[in-house]
Structure 1
């Protein structure tokens, strides 16, 4: 029996740890069956992207002659995955379609009724139950499998994987390709209860043994990938454990790889921050999910954070200046109206982090906030990623306004290269939010969003805005030109000089 374990990643640079774990677990079972002379199966892996055409994905799978295909489903790939699977079932009625992942785990019954071409849904983590299912399927054990799409007993087509113990998670690492991000985890679960996050569903931390973590990190470091992104939802949940892991990485630093972690700033210890301050520049990258500075908002979503401590510790992390710091805000949370969000934005922007992501609430399946949608008047997109449209605190016009701010924030702040120019123009406004709000209105009024722009054109756009909408006058050009010459290569600067400031 020939089986595909695959998924559709959101970008080429991404890789899927789920596919690595599941295929490794299945391959181990297949080897055990072979050693016992039992009927087994052969596993193949495939990672497509959502940018591949449906036709390409379908043809690649159809040509391989699989008996079963197993897909990991997420908000970014569910629509495309279902479309491809439907066509595969039409072409090969005997092919068994197995879906797993968060996008099918919380409404499995409804999915199976609405999509009869799906034979089986695995809910939760699949490292233990997928090999069991494939073994039964290979043996054609109808009682264990019951995979007929016409079976009216939906419950028989749902397999609960639950939460897998660390000792049952196979040792599996994706290839450390320089062109891709290597995802890695040292623990599953999260100690916090954020109502918008799926990680809060699994409240118990399941940590992998430190001996295993160090062995795997050694292999990763030796392979010299460009970036390793830790999947641990709160990496510093244990100060002692996080210190040991960071120290190990520092002691074995290969000089090129950088490591990305999601951390909780509130529980950062002085000892951990001192350790981080001694690391090679850019060895570590930290992501801090602040989300809001409104205490009532944080309480409503289950984040009982000491916001003063969060801001203070994040500021210290930024001040260390040896590791990039990424901070997050979420628009659309309960009790956060435009004035409240403006305050949150200004306080977080003032930290001076390398990146500020202005995200929008997504009411994910299985989360508490989705169950409480009526309580806060949420209206959201019915298709993945289920992004908020409005609630009792912000109307649709507010959301559009913030979407426009997000656009210019990403292009002019997060992508870098405008430090002097932004500082000069923001000084003409009462707050940073007021600047981005005004600049976004100008940017979209002039239609700049309708086409892509080279980096040098963005310097021209900001200069035009400063000239027409502020009292900066020509002074802004000197600051912007210094930014440009520092950021752009000499040939790009020559092209800019030849054309001038007109956009």
Structure 2
């Protein structure tokens, strides 16, 4: 008799992501006598491709990992699978279906659904299916299907439920990456704890307050495996990594002392960072660690509305302490549409977070997740959200739909220009011209909309050109200095041998060769002489980068073609 064939499917938000959940399930059932295959796709893949590749595996059971970004795709794909072969059974799991299991199973074509943590439930289910395939009425320990805790299933058109299952010991979870051969260019997710100590009303993690930590020596051993595999980025999925001082310090200290190029991403609560933690973090090699901090809003009254006790001044103080270390990148989150927050309050939050100048700012929008405490307070706050994933807020009694649309435009500008870190000098130029950060990004977003740039693809060069149009059409100002500043940023992050037509190049090839020969013969050059590009500027560009001052002056700048961060003013060398 052929072994039971199961295909676990992850439809990820990006190609570079890996699905941790289905790997957990496969690892936890590795000792069972069945065939388990993992298939991963992206939400951008065609439905026809998904269907063809899954069916080609000839599965008897298909397991889908369901999230906010793939729920509708999973439902549609389930329908197609059943049309092609109604004998294939489908089981769902994941956060998007865990809090309305009966409803989701009833409205979908699937047959089974796992509620909450899946490892033990999935193992019980597979053991049952193996024995069922062998025509045995019950499985190894005499438990029937309807006695599997945490499992919903369909029978004769009715939905049945095995009852609530207790959380498992996190140390029983099997490390899922041992057999992975190729993790290059992938974002690998890792979990050192489960549960969350906080109860933020908009977050599903607030439902599970049972905080459990994995054995710390086991964590170190597993992280070492990932480093040895030369994983580029490991993202910890722990909701508040630093909530246990001793645990976080020991892990950070371990990672700091490794000889590795792997980077590690943590979600932390800045307000609970201790001086002891900061002292350890100060020793981290630059780029080894990166933090994500959920500020959400700087308005303490709004923080209270969502059941967050953090005071922004405390958060700001801790974030600035980490920033002062100059070795850890920080990603700060804001959420628009929070209960009680109006447009002006959000604008204030935006400006206060921007004043910190973190490496990245994420402007998100409140999502009313099913099963979250926030869902029960919608009427209180006049919240109207989309009934379709990702259930994003459309308006509240405090902020209108039109105001949220404005913030969408701001979000796009921040993500494209600020977070890319490729337009820093240009942004500095405009920040000096606006009364605050928010007004600049709002005006730029409105300009993008008026020009129709949101509705069509524009080239990478055009993203620079937009600033010349914006400056002359909106601010009615001369582009002389700005053009030079744009040229500097463009050369920092693009090919040096070519400039788009809207940027001026003031050196012909013959003159440039003479300059490069002269510079290359100089011993005072700090850049690899064989890998340099020299450009003439009509302003003292490095003075502007340093102080924001615009001074007309012919300057010759050497750019490294190997390292975007390396530039040198070679004007004196050329004039000798």
Shorter chain as normaliser: what TM range?
Answer: over 0.9
Question: Structure 2: how far apart are the matches of 1:16 and 1:9?
Answer: 7
1:107 maps onto 2:66 in alignment: no
2:371 is aligned to: 366
1:82 maps onto 2:82 in alignment: no
2:237 is aligned to: 231
Secondary structure, counterpart of 2:49 in structure 1: helix
Aligned residues of 1:121 and 1:159 also touching (Cα < 8 A)? no
Deviates more, 1:145-154 or 1:462-471: 145-154
Map 1:126-205 → 2, pairs under 5 A: 126-140=118-132, 141=137, 144-145=144-145, 149-156=154-161, 160-173=164-177, 175=180, 177-205=183-211
Question: Structure 2: how far apart are the matches of 1:145 and 1:290?
Answer: 45
The match for 2:354 among 326, 349, 353 is 349
Instruction: Measure how far apart 1:492 and its partner are.
Output: 4.2
Bigger Rg, structure 1 or 2: 2
Map 1:387-426 → 2, pairs under 5 A: 387-426=392-431
TM-score when normalising by structure 1: 0.93
Aligned residues of 1:456 and 1:496 also touching (Cα < 8 A)? no
Instruction: Measure how far apart 1:154 and its partner are.
Output: 1.2
Map 1:298-309 → 2, pairs under 5 A: 298-309=303-314
| Distance change in 2, residues 1:145/1:96 (3 Å) | farther
TM-score when normalising by structure 2: 0.81
Deviates more, 1:471-480 or 1:86-95: 471-480
The match for 2:495 among 457, 467, 489 is 489
Question: Structure 2: how far apart are the matches of 1:60 and 1:479?
Answer: 50
Aligned residues of 1:289 and 1:327 also touching (Cα < 8 A)? yes
Deviates more, 1:338-347 or 1:142-151: 142-151
Secondary structure, counterpart of 2:119 in structure 1: coil
The match for 1:22 among 22, 25, 32 is 25
1:44 is aligned to: 37
Aligned residues of 1:428 and 1:470 also touching (Cα < 8 A)? no
1:35 is aligned to: none
2:13 is aligned to: 10
Aligned residues of 2:170 and 2:213 also touching (Cα < 8 A)? yes
Aligned residues of 1:332 and 1:361 also touching (Cα < 8 A)? yes
1:66 maps onto 2:59 in alignment: yes
Question: Structure 1: how far apart are the matches of 2:301 and 2:450?
Answer: 35
Question: Structure 1: how far apart are the matches of 2:171 and 2:461?
Answer: 53
Question: Structure 1: how far apart are the matches of 2:388 and 2:73?
Answer: 12
Aligned residues of 1:62 and 1:88 also touching (Cα < 8 A)? yes
Deviates more, 1:443-452 or 1:136-145: 136-145
| Distance change in 2, residues 1:212/1:228 (3 Å) | same
Instruction: Measure how far apart 1:328 and its partner are.
Output: 0.5
| Distance change in 2, residues 1:497/1:480 (3 Å) | closer
Offset from partner CA, 1:417-452 (integer Å, 9 cap, x none): 221211121211111111111111111111121222
Offset from partner CA, 1:153-185 (integer Å, 9 cap, x none): 4124x6645422113211222736122101111
Instruction: Measure how far apart 1:479 and its partner are.
Output: 2.5
Question: Structure 1: how far apart are the matches of 2:390 and 2:85?
Answer: 30
Question: Structure 2: how far apart are the matches of 1:149 and 1:58?
Answer: 23
Instruction: Measure how far apart 1:491 and its partner are.
Output: 2.9
Aligned residues of 1:428 and 1:472 also touching (Cα < 8 A)? no
1:57 maps onto 2:50 in alignment: yes
| Distance change in 2, residues 1:88/1:149 (3 Å) | farther
Deviates more, 1:451-460 or 1:301-310: 451-460
Q: More helix per residue: 1 or 2?
A: 1
1:37 is aligned to: none
1:477 maps onto 2:483 in alignment: yes
Number of equivalent positions: 487
Q: Which has the higher contact order (CA 8 A, sep 6+)?
A: 1
Question: Structure 1: how far apart are the matches of 2:43 and 2:409?
Answer: 25
| Distance change in 2, residues 1:289/1:436 (3 Å) | same
Secondary structure, counterpart of 2:497 in structure 1: helix
Offset from partner CA, 1:246-282 (integer Å, 9 cap, x none): 111111131x211111111101112222222221111
2:441 is aligned to: 436
1:118 is aligned to: 110
Aligned residues of 2:153 and 2:160 also touching (Cα < 8 A)? no
1:33 is aligned to: none
2:432 is aligned to: 427
Offset from partner CA, 1:282-318 (integer Å, 9 cap, x none): 1111111100011111001011112101011112222
Instruction: Measure how far apart 1:122 and its partner are.
Output: 0.6
Instruction: Measure how far apart 1:333 and its partner are.
Output: 0.1
1:384 maps onto 2:389 in alignment: yes
